[in-house]
Amino acid sequence: MPYIDKNTKKWVGEFQIGGKPHIELRKRKKGFPTREAAKEWEEAEREAYLNPPDPNVLTSLKPCVSKYLRFCEKRTKQNTCRYKTAIYIQMFKFWHHDPIIEDLTPLLFSDFLDHVYDVKGGATANRYLREINSLLNWCVENRLLPENPAANVEKYYADPFKKYVPPAEDLDLVEAEAGPLEKDIIQTVFYSLARAGEIRNMKFSDCNFENNTLTIWTRKRKGGALESDDIEMSHNLKEILYRRYTQREKDQEYVFPGLQGGKFPKRTMDRIMPTLCKKAGVKPFGFHSIRHHSAALLATQLPLLAIQAILRHKRASTTDSYLRSIVKISTKGISVLDKIQDERKKQKEVNVISFEDAANHKKK
């Protein structure tokens, strides 16, 4: 029962189970302004003790996020999971609380995304929206939420993104500043169009010099599973890889090894291009921009499906979007329609017979 604290003149609420001398549980809270407030607290504590919440029933968003991230840890790349985690941390910091499931509304997520738009722009806000929808859809599928409250949040306006394609002159200047190992890495990216992570993972066992094929392993697919693709090994690429094979150290496994023959360190790989671009005095670009450069060259000579196979995209639509972001699609070929129509008209004129000619033909 509530009672007055003689020193503070405030009401004290006290909840206990069992009597003296066998008290199983006792809770006390001071500072209530009225007896009714202290009594409400006691009743709430009694209800919580007698009817504890089901630990399998989640009442707020944070536990749902934790479950989703544990799911992602086992099914996505480490960097993907870290990226998702960073977004959700920003979201809770913006809200300053962990909202209960009943309070999740489209406006709650829109407020956060509006803030992202103001600070980082529309493209980033749209990426955040995609990750939020991934989270909430997973929660709906696993019956943690009744519905996705962000399902109808509209995308933000974002300026079209144009991937940077370094000119050939800049690439030559960078290669001129590169050491033997760095130059081999740059040229391997150029001739294979492999990503930096795939270059680091490249092993001599992936090189089939007899059949002129190179196996490239990647995790850049849904689910993060390691998959392989075989590409043609061009003459120049084969020359680089075979030279490294003949000059390898004993028991060397990786084409581009780090210390003690292990995998080439990511931090070292990430520093190569910024350092070389600075030395060469050119606009900074990375290994992925070299992939853009090679793809732009291929786009002038090969059809879409051939480039899709080289870039190792699962869908042609991905390759189409990729090429549109690095090359300007020419419309000069549209003049071929004039030629087709002119030839069609000429053919039509040849087939038209005058009335007199038709009559004479009939008499014959």
* Beta bridge mates, 207: 214
Q: What is the structure's pLDDT at 121?
A: 93
Coil, helix or strand for 34?
coil
Residue with tokens 């995304």: 113
Cα 112 from Cα 119, distance rounded (Å): 11
Q: What is the pLDDT along the chain (364 residues), one digit of tens a residue?
A: 888 988 888 999 888 776 666 666 778 888 899 989 988 988 888 877 777 655 566 789 999 999 999 999 888 888 889 999 999 999 999 999 999 999 999 999 999 999 999 999 999 999 999 999 999 999 999 999 999 999 999 999 988 777 888 999 999 999 999 999 999 999 999 999 999 999 999 999 999 999 999 999 887 655 556 788 999 999 999 999 999 999 999 889 999 998 877 889 999 999 999 999 999 999 999 999 999 999 988 888 888 888 898 998 888 888 888 888 787 655 455 566 667 677 877 776 666 555 555 556 555 5
Q: Which helix (H) or strand (E) holds 257?
A: none
**Distance, CA of 107 to chain centre:** 25
Query: Rounded to whole angstroms, how far apart are CA atoms 188 and 181?
Result: 11
Distance CA 161, CA 41 (A): 56
Per DSSP, the three-state class of 143 is coil
CA quadruple 235, 241, 242, 243: dihedral sign: positive
Q: CA-CA distance, 37 to 18, in Å (whole number)?
A: 23
pLDDT at 137: 97
Question: How high is the pLDDT of residue 362?
Answer: 52
Closest by Cα among 161, 185, 355, 165 to 258: 185
**Res 324: pLDDT:** 82
Distance CA 154, CA 20 (A): 62
Instruction: Report pLDDT for 76.
Output: 84
Please report, in angstroms and rounded to a whole number, the separation of the first and last CA atoms in the chain. Answer: 125
CA distances from 69 to 66, 110, 264, 301, 312 (A): 5, 22, 29, 44, 28
- Identify the bridge partners of residue 145 per DSSP, sorted by sequence position: none
38, 32 contact by CB (below 8 A): yes
Residue that has been written with the tokens 């931090």 in this structure: 267
Asked if 164 contacts 285 with a C-beta cutoff of 8 angstroms, the reply is: yes
Type of residue at 33:
P
